[in-house]
């Protein structure tokens, strides 16, 4: 029911996903009367509808969604994961509400105070750079940034099977003296840890692939993500315009078409839609609210892959070496000076 387009997009994406994944099954959670008109193809019996009376609106405060909409499609969907009826929940709805509901229903992993949104951005090395947090936590302490580094390390270790993923702290410069007090203190915690910390990195390092993981607060991370999406859309528009401009430009664009097409495909943000909410006792995937059918299908695929590769279990295992240190830092940060 969530996102800018609701069932018109989400149901279409679900049906397309099932055609590609004959082993998958989907639960569509929401108002039955809103979903059924879009189910001309019932998915070969691999779709089940779970009715929910209420809907979390995109402008609902998280507290309102959590406390007053107890039968919302979002809450019922997350509950399917808690109760073991689903391996993952995928939503394009209100980000703050999804995080609050997921945290309340699923609870956090041992040692984690603040779950984070992690997203894999394509880099120039042909791989991806995992960036977190991307909007779940606007105001963060140094310990929260340390948590994100551990979560990001565990995610990359589990998904990419890297023994010691590298970590960078997003800052306005590489020097240790740069940044505000929170970032400086986070740097101290990271340097004192057993994580493979490479120091401060800048925004362009995300795309260079300087480190496997880049850590930042949710305000900075969300701006970086939306800027990246805007840049990709601008480049796609520029490519289209080249084919409709002067004859010389058309000839040049035609000659370069194979390279440009690959470049555009690589930067198409719809292929990377589906951020992971890390630190929860269950798999939750956040889709962009403006996602079209192709993008939302990518988010469903992200949930499918997370379940197939046992992401939650492997992430918990990869976190174990750092849990004691993390709990110790949390406890010391709450002791009055």
CA distance 61 to 74: 14
Q: Where are the domains of the chain?
A: 1-106
Three-state secondary structure call for residue 244: coil
Judge contact between 18 and 46, C-beta under 8 A.
Answer: yes
Judge contact between 99 and 118, C-beta under 8 A.
Answer: no
DSSP tag of 233: H
- Give CA 298 to chain center in angstroms: 12
Q: What would the two tokens of residue 140 be?
A: 């963060």
Judge contact between 165 and 156, C-beta under 8 A.
Answer: yes
**Burial class (CB within 10 angstroms; exposed 0-12, middle 13-18, buried 19+) of 27:** middle
pLDDT tens, position by position, 168-192:
999 999 999 999 999 999 999 999 9
CA distance 180 to 171: 9
pLDDT tens, position by position, 1-22:
988 999 999 999 999 999 999 9
The pLDDT assigned to 43 comes to 55
Q: What would the two tokens of residue 81 be?
A: 């994961």
CA distance 49 to 176: 53
Q: What residues of the chain score a pLDDT lower than 70?
A: 41-44, 231-233, 235-236, 238-272, 334-337
**Burial class (CB within 10 angstroms; exposed 0-12, middle 13-18, buried 19+) of 52:** buried
CA distance 200 to 215: 10
Angle 181-191/142-159 helices, nearest 10 degrees?
A: 50
Number of H helices, E strands in the chain: 13, 10
CA distance 287 to 298: 9
**Burial class (CB within 10 angstroms; exposed 0-12, middle 13-18, buried 19+) of 336:** exposed
The pLDDT assigned to 263 comes to 47
CA distance 247 to 143: 58
CA distance 300 to 285: 8
- Stated pTM of the model: 0.84
């Amino acid at each position: 029911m969530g996102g800018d387009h609701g069932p018109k997009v989400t149901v279409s994406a679900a049906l397309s996903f099932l055609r590609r994944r004959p082993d998958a099954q989907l639960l569509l959670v929401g108002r039955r009367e809103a979903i059924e008109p879009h189910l001309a193809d019932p998915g070969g019996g691999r779709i089940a509808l779970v009715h929910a009376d209420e809907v979390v609106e995109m402008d609902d405060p998280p507290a309102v969604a959590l406390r007053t909409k107890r039968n919302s499609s979002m809450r019922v969907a997350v509950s399917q994961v808690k109760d073991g009826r689903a391996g993952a929940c995928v939503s394009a709805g209100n980000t703050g509400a999804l995080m609050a509901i997921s945290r309340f229903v699923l609870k956090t992993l041992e040692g984690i105070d603040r779950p984070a949104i992690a997203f894999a951005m394509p880099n120039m090395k042909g791989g991806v750079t995992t960036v977190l947090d991307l909007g779940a936590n606007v105001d963060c302490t140094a310990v929260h940034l340390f948590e994100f580094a551990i979560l990001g390390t565990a995610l990359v270790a589990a998904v990419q099977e890297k023994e010691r993923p590298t970590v960078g702290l997003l800052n306005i410069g590489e020097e240790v003296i740069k940044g505000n007090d929170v970032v400086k203190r986070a740097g101290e915690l990271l340097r004192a840890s057993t994580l493979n910390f490479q120091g401060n990195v800048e925004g362009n390092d995300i795309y260079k692939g300087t480190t496997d993981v880049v850590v930042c607060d949710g305000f900075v991370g969300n701006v970086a993500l939306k800027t990246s999406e805007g840049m990709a859309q601008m480049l796609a528009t520029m490519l289209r315009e080249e084919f409709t401009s002067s004859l010389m430009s058309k000839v040049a664009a035609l000659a370069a078409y194979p390279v440009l097409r690959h470049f555009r495909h690589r930067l198409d943000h719809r292929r990377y839609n589906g951020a992971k909410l890390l630190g929860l006792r269950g798999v939750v995937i956040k889709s962009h609210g403006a996602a079209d059918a192709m993008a939302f299908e990518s988010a469903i695929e992200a949930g499918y892959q997370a379940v197939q590769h046992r992401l939650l279990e492997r992430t918990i295992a990869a976190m174990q070496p750092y849990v004691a240190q993390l709990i110790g830092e949390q406890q010391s940060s709450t002791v009055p000076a």
